[in-house]
Chains A and B, each alone.
Chain A
Amino acid sequence: MSPLILLLLAIGLGLVGWLAGRARAWSFRKSGPMRLASLPNYHGWYVALWIAIPVLIFVAVWSAIAPGLVMQHVLAQPAAADLPAFGFQRQTILNEARAVATGDAMGVFNAEARGLVEPFREAIGRYDIVGIVVALVIAFAAGAFSFLRLRPDFRARNRVEKSVMAILLVASLVAILTTLGILASLVFETVRFFGMVSPLDFLFGTFWGPDPMSGAANPDGSRYGAIPLFWGTIFIGAIIAMIVAIPLGLMSAIYLTQYAPGRLRTWVKPALEILAGVPTVVYGYFAALTVAPFIRDLALAAGVSNPSSESALAAGLVMGVMIIPFVSSMADDSIAAVPAAMRDGSLAMGATHSETIKRVLVPAALPGIVAGVMLAISRAIGETMIVVMAASTAANLTANPLEAMTTVTVQIVAMLTGEGSFDHPATLSAFALGFVLFIVTLALNFIALRVVKRFREAYE
């Protein structure tokens, strides 16, 4: 049974409960002289919530455990006895049989799967019925319980509102759950990785060359030195990209806030925002197909022998362009927050406009600008698609921007889109890299927020 159908079932039953509860409340109102404590709608909602929430919880749990139960049932069949014990082929056969049983596939490739189709079909059918029956029983029991509690003096509204508050609280807890989920998944896999490769080798080694095909039992720790990746990330994201983005973004913000006539501003600002809204895969395509070959040709013309077609420069330049609107809007905000009196005072003293900007406005807005730059760096080092498409996968510890270089995000994608298994250190290293990335970006964001909080108050 697809979760969608169970979901619709829960909503439908809830609707029935709503109508029944409301009708009951109306009948109280008609039959007795007594005033209802709550409006009939709230009686309806009370019953509906009593039905829908338990059923929804059941659906969530059931759709997580039902496939396991089906699998258990199928594996208990005699036909499953000849399956290969473990590994990829067993999984393929089982998946095939299931696909045929659910009607997703026409036929099977592996002969072994044929005998399993019927057990699958039978098990899926059986557990579907079990699921629906249990859902109906829960709905009926909860519905009857709540329905019988309705009285003219029953304070349905208070109950409903209490559950609404609970739902609101649960919704805001999703953020914590997500954060915990990220931390848990990263830490868990990272610990597994560090069980195979020493953290010291990982953090301080200077050679990166994991071999997903090698045996997983005794990984060669010296192949997992992540320093070249960290360097590549910093070089592309925090150095080259920022050399492009900081001056251009800052100058755009200064021009837009201080010099540009209103009409120009209304047109240019949204245009810069478009630059921020272009998907990064488009930038990556642009970097790989247009910018990188151009840089290579330029380097050839300048007499560099054998320049790489995947250069750190191409990825960094395009990333810098992507970051411009980000820096510019942060700088824009913090310059606009500087009190006008400071600017007017400087102009009144006879300073030119640019002197005022350079000596008064920018220093005064510096905390905001620095915070903006930090957020921009954090975005640049977490950026994936541009570097995946324009940088290479070859780890390289060099300061030459024309050479191929790789970054943390590139390696995460490379390690997880291969065919490696989840027990292999090469695959698990992606989680360790992700963990480092997560910590670093969080630290940058945290520092940025602190800087703003600390120094902004001076003017208020």
Chain B
Amino acid sequence: MSDSVATSRAPARTPTRTEAFEKRLKKRYASERRFRWMGLGAIIFSIVVLLFLLGNMSINGFAGFQRAELQVPIDFREAGLSGDPAVLSQPGAVQSLEAQGLPQVVEFYAGEALGEEAAEQLDPQAWREVADAVTADPAILRGETTFWLPASAGLASGLAGEGAQEMRLLATRLTADGVLASRLDLGFLARSDATNPQQVGIWGALKGSILTMIVTLLLAFPIGVLAALYLEEYAPKNRWTDIIEVSINNLAAVPSIIFGLLGLAVFLWIFPNMRSAPLIGGMTLALMTMPVIVISGRNAIKAVPPSIRDGALAIGASPVQVAFHHVLPLALPGILTGTIIGMARALGETAPLLLIGMRAFVATPPDGFTSPATVLPVQIFLWSDEIDRGFVERTSAAIIVLLLFLLVMNGLAIYLRNKFEKTW
């Protein structure tokens, strides 16, 4: 441009839009467009990865909610099982049915209906599902009922078109007969961990997660809110409160695995018998969640206008009354939003729980805060280690359950934020 300025002293106006200028302008606009496309491309890439991840999980997970089942009609009238309601309502009902020969009964009818070769491919634990059905409704002992029972892992992979050649042939034949099918398996939501992908379920891990979250919430929420209240409303500005503030901010940035090391070294040292208990897991996660709640709580409390405090103080409320009667209720939606987000993070956390021993094989759902348990993310991690083909789908199904939980929690946080959002 400097040339054009220099020549503009000449009598006539030289055109500013010289060829070189036009060329340069074109180049600049092209680079502008490129830059813009790069930005859009970055976003599209991220969204595509997200969609691919979710799509991949959903497709696999959909298969995880299904399992290969064999159709077995059982005529209980001939089986000679005693259907004493008093026994069947007792906790030992399944054992009593086993003692009466229910496994053999199931085996016999499976052989009748499917033939020798296919009956062998019935899952060895399949009779338990018959037993559960009988204890749920003893009346079926008086008639004939058709059950869909889980097939062996080998036949299941045969049905999926993998595995041994003979299994694939058998699966094709049985499917053609209409006695083998891949059916929706809602029991997946009700069972616990097992060694066979056909038998596993998510309920044990889900219950462990819920118990752990309860402990986390009960510890982190009150401590976090009270600490936020103190720091925002009362704390004098001195070295001590500076240290508190710095340590809270640091804790929010400490890698989660360090909290696992803390739980291992401190909590398991105090409670050596509680390895893999939801209580210890919840305590560890609470320390991790607390700083998140404090930080969001402070922001929510800060957002309450001072006029409300002044008004309350002016009509004679004490500072504590101002905080608990006026500031806290107004800040609560914001605090809750932060709490839910912190809890969602804790729900998805795996590493600290691995270190404190929540990676054990737990085949029964935990029945309390101190019994051994596993949680959803750890269950996903454990299943992902299984090479068995069927576990891939099951893992994806568990991931879907976990993601749905997170979605509900985040949805709740967004709803709270929108519903109670105030502008003063």
Binding site for B on A (CB under 8 A): 2, 4, 64, 67, 95, 98, 104, 157, 160-161, 164-165, 167-169, 171-176, 178-179, 181-182, 185-186, 188-189, 247-252, 254-256, 258-260, 268, 271-272, 274-275, 277-286, 288-290, 321, 324-325, 352-355, 357-358, 375, 378-379, 381-385, 388-389, 409, 412-413, 416-417, 430-431, 434, 437-438, 441-442, 445, 449
Partner of A290 from B56, B270, B291, B319 at Cβ < 8 Å:
B56
Q: Do residues A284 and B250 form an inter-chain contact, with CB atoms below 8 A? A: no
Whether A441 touches B244, Cβ cut-off 8 Å, given contacts A179-B250, A277-B344, A284-B381, is no
Binding site for A on B (CB under 8 A): 28-29, 31-32, 35-36, 38-43, 45-47, 49-50, 53, 56-57, 222-224, 226-227, 229-231, 234-235, 241, 243-244, 247-251, 253-259, 261-262, 264-266, 270-273, 287, 290-291, 294, 318-320, 324, 344-345, 347-351, 354-355, 359, 368-371, 377-378, 380-381, 384, 392, 395, 399, 402-403, 406, 410
CA distance A290 to B396 in the complex (A): 12
Chain A's closest residue to B41 (CB) is A251
Partner of B320 from A165, A355, A409 at Cβ < 8 Å:
A165
* Min C-beta distance of B63 to chain A, whole Å: 14
* Min C-beta distance of A239 to chain B, whole Å: 18
Question: For residue A175, which residues in chain B have a CB less than 8 angstroms away from its CB?
Answer: 227, 244, 247-248, 251, 290-291, 294
CA distance A272 to B42 in the complex (A): 11
Q: Do residues B222 and A321 form an inter-chain contact, with CB atoms below 8 A? A: no
26 contacts between A and B (CB under 8 A): A160-B320, A167-B226, A172-B294, A174-B227, A178-B251, A178-B287, A186-B261, A186-B265, A249-B42, A250-B42, A255-B40, A255-B43, A258-B39, A260-B43, A278-B348, A278-B406, A284-B381, A285-B395, A325-B46, A352-B29, A353-B32, A382-B256, A385-B381, A388-B351, A412-B257, A431-B265
Known: A251-B43, A282-B403, A382-B258. 19 other contacts (CB 8 A): A64-B270, A64-B271, A157-B318, A161-B319, A168-B230, A171-B226, A172-B235, A172-B244, A176-B243, A249-B42, A251-B38, A251-B41, A279-B350, A280-B351, A282-B402, A286-B56, A352-B29, A375-B253, A388-B351
Question: For residue B368, which residues in chain A have a CB less than 8 angstroms away from its CB?
Answer: 2
Question: For residue A437, which residues in chain B have a CB less than 8 angstroms away from its CB?
Answer: 255, 257-258
Whether A442 touches B262, Cβ cut-off 8 Å, given contacts A171-B223, A178-B287, A413-B355, is no
Q: Do residues A176 and B32 form an inter-chain contact, with CB atoms below 8 A? A: no
Question: For residue B46, which residues in chain A have a CB less than 8 angstroms away from its CB?
Answer: 248, 252, 271-272, 275, 321, 324-325
Q: Do residues A409 and B257 form an inter-chain contact, with CB atoms below 8 A? A: yes
Whether A185 touches B261, Cβ cut-off 8 Å, given contacts A4-B369, A285-B399, is yes
Partner of A182 from B38, B45, B258 at Cβ < 8 Å:
B258
CA distance A182 to B406 in the complex (A): 28
* Min C-beta distance of B243 to chain A, whole Å: 6
Question: For residue A98, which residues in chain B have a CB less than 8 angstroms away from its CB?
Answer: 273
Question: For residue A290, which residues in chain B have a CB less than 8 angstroms away from its CB?
Answer: 56
Chain A's closest residue to B405 (CB) is A279
Chain B's closest residue to A380 (CB) is B255
CA distance A181 to B370 in the complex (A): 23
Chain B's closest residue to A99 (CB) is B273
Question: For residue B271, which residues in chain A have a CB less than 8 angstroms away from its CB?
Answer: 64, 67
Partner of B36 from A179, A325, A354, A442 at Cβ < 8 Å:
A354
Whether A284 touches B384, Cβ cut-off 8 Å, given contacts A178-B262, A251-B42, A255-B43, is yes
Q: Do residues B257 and A67 form an inter-chain contact, with CB atoms below 8 A? A: no
Q: Do residues A161 and B320 form an inter-chain contact, with CB atoms below 8 A? A: yes
Question: For residue B377, which residues in chain A have a CB less than 8 angstroms away from its CB?
Answer: 279, 281, 385
Q: Do residues A176 and B244 form an inter-chain contact, with CB atoms below 8 A? A: yes
Partner of B57 from A176, A271, A282 at Cβ < 8 Å:
A282
Whether A285 touches B254, Cβ cut-off 8 Å, given contacts A252-B42, A417-B359, is no
Q: Do residues B265 and A189 form an inter-chain contact, with CB atoms below 8 A? A: yes
CA distance A352 to B28 in the complex (A): 7
The 8 residue pairs across chains A and B that have the minimum distance between CB atoms: A382-B255, A279-B348, A255-B39, A185-B265, A251-B42, A171-B226, A384-B351, A354-B35
